[in-house]
Amino acid sequence: MEATKTPPAREGGLQTVRMISETIRLVTDGRCELYNLTERIAAVLLRHDVKDGMVLLSSLHTTLALFVNEWQSALLHDIKGMLNKVVTPNDGWRHDDPQHSDCDRRNAHSHLQATLLGHALSLGVAKGKLVLGQFQAIIAAELDGPRNRDLALQIIAT
């Protein structure tokens, strides 16, 4: 293990920062579908002229999750398959049972899968670019669509 970049202590310089809040809309078109948000998030950062900082991208929904991985067709198929293997739909979940729940969407597995994936992502920005590797994409997982979804961005930026 070795550092590939070792700036001197106190590099970065004292500076004031901006706090930016914004909401973006994602219109989904399937019950369980994945969406590549990378270009949209990059465009928001460009519009705000963000040089360095962090972005917090949050789903405002309990059945819409976020994660970072490769945007490859075969893998996207596998991700959806994996979610339904790890948390099986219609597996006697109490949230799907009208005796215990007033939710009639039969979406217990959607909530449970979202809980495992996570509702938010923190992403770095350095020199005006999202800090992502060559094969990394910012992916939204619609787990109970189609719906109109809102995602919040909080940006701390120089």
By CB under 8 A, the residues from 23 to 62 that bind its own copies are: 23-27, 35, 40, 44, 47-49, 52-54, 56, 58-62
Q: How far is the CB of 31 from its own copies (least distance, A)?
A: 18
Query: Which parts of 128-157 interact with its own copies (CB under 8 A)?
Result: 131-136, 150, 152, 154-157
Count the neighbouring beta carbons within 10 Å of the beta carbon of residue 22.
Answer: 13
- 114 binds its own copies per the rule CB under 8 A: yes
- Give the three-class secondary structure for 108: helix
Contact 64, 142 (CB under 8 A): yes
Residue of 30, 38, 41, 79 that binds its own copies (CB under 8 A): 79
Cα 51 to Cα 84: distance, rounded to the nearest angstrom: 39
- 7 binds its own copies per the rule CB under 8 A: yes
SS3 of 67-95: the string is EEECCCHHHHHHHHHHHHHHCCCCCCCHH
- 1 binds its own copies per the rule CB under 8 A: yes
- 90 binds its own copies per the rule CB under 8 A: no
Between residues 31 and 80, which has the closer beta carbon with respect to its own copies?
80
Give me the residues paired with residue 125 across strands. 53, 130
Between residues 24 and 31, which has the closer beta carbon with respect to its own copies?
24
Burial class of residue 99 (count of CB atoms within 10 Å of its CB; 0-12, 13-18, 19+): exposed
- 116 binds its own copies per the rule CB under 8 A: yes
